[in-house]
Amino acid sequence: MEDKLKTRLGEKNYQKLIGIDNPELHQFIAKYVELCNPDKVFVCTDSPEDIQYIRQETIRTGEEKELAMEGHTVHFDGYYDQARDKKNTKFLLPPGVDLGLNLNAMEREEGLKEIHDIMRDIMRGHQLFVLFFCLGPLNSQFSIPAVQLTDSGYVAHSEDLLYRLGYEEFVRLGKSARFFKFVHSAGELDQRMTSRNINKRRVYIDLEDETVYTANTQYGGNTIGLKKLAMRPAINRASKEGWLTEHMFIMAVHGPSKRVTYFTGAFPSLCGKTSTSMLLGETIIGDDIAYLRKRDGVIRAVNPEKGIFGIIHGINSEDDPLIWKTLHSPGEIIFSNVLVTEEKGVHWIGKNEAQPKKGLHHSGEWTPGKKDAEGNEISLSHPNARFTLNMRLIENFDTEFDNPEGVAVGGIIYGGRDSDTKVPVEESFDWVHGVITIGAALESETTAATLGKEGVRKINPMSNLDFLSIPIGKYIENYLNFGEELKNPPPIFSVNYFLRDADGNFMNDKTDKAVWLKWMELRSHREVEAIKTPTGLIPKYEDLKRLFREVLDKEYSEKDYIEQFTVRVAENLARIERVEAFYKTKVPDTPQIVFEVLEEQKQRLSLAREKYRDYISPNKLSFTKKV
């Protein structure tokens, strides 16, 4: 093996590789160099010279093109390669292993044979980049080393922006490294340097060997292995070891007397996750993924990433001032599938500037009204267009980002799109009640932009359904167990920014979320009282009135408060029925306590209906003293 590696890598790259004392790693790399058969292999260390080499190669091959702003580049995926390929994303499972009805899976040996057949000689004519990263802070209990093999300079460049460099971590760990493995090839490329054979696009996840394979695709959600793809083996490993891998932001809410309280938050797509984590005046550790562990009876969290692979659609100067400023400043940023103007600037859907008359994007030359081969009009940028950057470019970057101990979690937030049921902010009674009635029961309405039909309610436990690699019932059981032995479990909150009145108008302004966050921060320290309702704890009017004035310099009327925080009994009962039906029909291993807690909530609502009827003003309910 050593002679073959030395021959394929050359002396310089071979010396870099054997600087890591890990025979398993060497065997893995040797196997896929032989199988994929690249023309050239480059082993990337943490050195600035190696990182710069990848940048130069990405520009040289045309996978990225330089833009007018210093450090900015653009990448185009193929016209039909613009999103995660859910159909061809499959778990490879050994005989007898069943992860539940919601997971797309196939027999492991069959899947490995197919992906290896697809990958045989797939890198001929290409250069293979061997990259080392670390998920989570270096030299930490949270750390998971990872090796990425890819023949795409764009993927290599993206991962360097998104993840902590890990070559030295591999050197430090040596034979003890328990690492994730990722193998990717864009496959045969067309004249525009995009994947040609997308009919053979595959994303296969081997949980047994903690390896992810992707072929014949370039779109980041399919190819940037350490992102959502890495969540699957991480969730599986966490389940075995007693910690959690979550689809959550981590942010700091700044309270009275310069106090800082850290919150995690999970929201389905288009429900306010990014806008919450990026609020002016607060600071951010991560916008997407979190690892949670217990330490000395306290939940601590880290962001396994160091960057953002964000949707650029709709970003504008008014609603997203922090990201807007970053995207219009010099710095290393990759734009993908946006419109490039004649001046080598970029434009996207929802950018509040005059629309260009022409430009270049993922379909080639573009002008308004251009149609594709199926007769569909092509928008000026793809709705899933992205930006990739290191979070250090953002002004509200939190100083505790690289703390190897993580940050203590003061509260957990779940948010969905709900037009008629949930109040704007609510706290659960306790950990079990919050996990079940807020997290496991997380429900969100679809929008026209996502499915072509508005108002379809989807249950998405902890906003993590798409990424689970264990049965849903086991996942919820893990959550319930995780709360045990905590000295003071952080409160669990729900937020809903999308409540509408009888005329269909939103009851909340976009900026109101800043107030809900400040109230949650005060509640996490039990510094304000709350009102007990049948479904949870809600704010007192006097506290919100003061916070609206302090935070937004805005008057908040009691009329608005009553409309927003009225308990809608019939709607809440209907919601419980939907949640119960989901778990009875879709999740055969649901823990019995889920149904017991939901039944208790149903009984509280029914008793309240007998006393107050279907719509209960918060002013009719009793105060609880700093519970």
DSSP-assigned letters across all residues of 131-195 = EEEEESSTTSTT-EEEEEEES-HHHHHHHHHHSEE-HHHHHHHGGG---EEEEEE--SB-TTS-B
**Per-residue model confidence (pLDDT) at position 446:** 77
Q: What is the pLDDT of residue 251?
A: 98
Query: Which string of DSSP letters, residue by residue, matches 400-460?
Result: TTT-TT-EEEEEEEEE---SSSS-SEEE-SSHHHHIIIIIIT-EEE--HHHHSSTT-EEE-
d(CA 345, CA 39): 35
- In terms of Cα–Cα distance, which of 335, 288, 336, 282 is closest to 308? 288
For range 560-571, the mean pLDDT = 97
In this prediction, residue 96 has a pLDDT band, given cuts at 50, 70 and 90, of: confident
With bands split at pLDDT 50, 70 and 90, how would you rate the model's confidence at 616?
very high
pLDDT band at 7 (very low <50, low <70, confident <90, very high): confident
* Average pLDDT over all residues of the chain: 94
Tokens of 262: 């850290």
What does the pLDDT average to over 326-339? 97
The residues, ordered by sequence, that sit 6+ positions from 220 with a Cβ below 8 Å of its Cβ are 155, 158, 227, 309, 336, 386, 388
Contact 378, 355 (CB under 8 A): no
| Under 8 Å between Cβ of 206 and 143 | no
Q: What is the pLDDT of residues 280-295, one digit of tens each?
A: 999 999 999 999 999 9
* Contacts by 9-13, CB closer than 8 A, 24 or more apart: 9/33, 9/41, 9/43, 10/41, 13/41, 13/42, 13/43, 13/130
Q: Residue 414 in contact with residue 438, Cβ under 8 Å?
A: yes
Nearest in space to 314 (alpha carbons), one of 257, 387, 261 = 387
Name the token pair of 276.
């919450």
Considering only CA atoms, which of 39, 188, 185, 214 is closest in space to residue 126?
A: 39
Residues in contact with 108: Cβ distance below 8 Å, sequence separation at least 6, in sequence order: 92, 93, 94, 206, 208
As a dihedral over the C-alpha atoms of residue 208, residue 210, residue 215, residue 219, rounded to 10 degrees, the angle is: 130
- Tokens coding 358: 């022409």
Contacts of 4 (CB under 8 A, 6+ apart): 30, 34
Closest CA to 58 of 124, 150, 153: 153
Selection from 489, 494, 466, 487 nearest residue 479 by Cα: 489
Strands 144-150 and 40-43: unpaired
Instruction: Give the active site residue among 36, 44, 134, 271.
Output: 271
The DSSP bridge pattern shows strands 407-415 and 260-266 to be parallel
User: Which residues does residue 198 pair with via DSSP β-bridges, in sequence order?
Assistant: none
Q: What is the pLDDT of residue 85?
A: 85
> Are the C-beta atoms of residues 126 and 155 closer than 8 Å to each other?
no
91 DSSP β-pair partners: 105, 205
The stretch 345-374 carries a mean pLDDT of 93
- Phi/psi at 245 (nearest 5 deg)? -110, 120
% residues pLDDT > 70 (the chain): 97
Q: Give the residues across from 17 on adjacent strands.
A: none
Q: What percent of the chain clears pLDDT 90, i.e. is strictly above it?
A: 86
DSSP 362: T
Range with the lowest mean pLDDT among 17-31, 163-177, 441-455? 441-455
**pLDDT at site 626:** 47
Could you report the per-residue pLDDT of 578-597, keeping only the tens digit for each? 999 999 999 999 999 999 99
Q: Residue 623: its pLDDT value, please?
A: 56
Annotation marks residue 271 as catalytic? yes
**Mean pLDDT within 233-239:** 96
Confidence of residue 561 (pLDDT cuts 50, 70, 90): very high
Within the chain, what is the greatest distance between any pair of CA atoms? Answer: 82
Q: Which residue has the higher pLDDT, 447 or 59?
A: 59
Residues 6+ apart with CB under 8 A from 559: none
Checking if the pLDDT of 627 tops 90, the result is: no
- Within 10 A of 188 (CB to CB), how many other CB atoms are there? 14
Question: Structure tokens of 268?
Answer: 């389905």
Q: Is 373 exposed, middle or buried (0-12, 13-18, 19+ CB in 10 A)?
A: exposed
Q: How confident is the model at residue 6 (pLDDT cuts 50, 70, 90)?
A: confident
CB 248 within 8 Å of CB 241: no
C-beta separation of 254 from 260 below 8 A: yes
Q: What is the pTM of this model?
A: 0.94
425-468 confidence digits (pLDDT tens): 999 999 999 999 999 999 999 764 443 456 789 999 999 998 99
In this structure, what are the phi and psi dihedrals at residue 367, rounded to the nearest 5 degrees? -140, 155
Which pLDDT value is given to residue 453? 59
**Confidence band for 17, pLDDT divided at 50, 70 and 90:** very high
What is the residue whose two structure tokens read 């309280």? 261
Number of helices and strands in the chain (H, E): 18, 34
Nearest to 208, CA basis, from 89, 103, 107: 107
Model pLDDT for residues 98-147, shown as the tens digit of each residue: 887 667 899 999 999 999 999 999 999 999 999 999 999 999 999 999 99
**Number of Cβ atoms within 10 Å of the Cβ of 602:** 16
**Residue 259 structure tokens:** 């106090």
pLDDT digits (tens, 9 = 90+) for 421-431: 999 999 999 99
Domains recognised in the chain with CATH numbers: 2-62+84-242 (3.40.449.10), 245-307+401-624 (3.90.228.20), 309-393 (2.170.8.10)
* Helical (H) or strand (E) element with 284: strand 283-286
Distance CA 508, CA 501 (A): 10
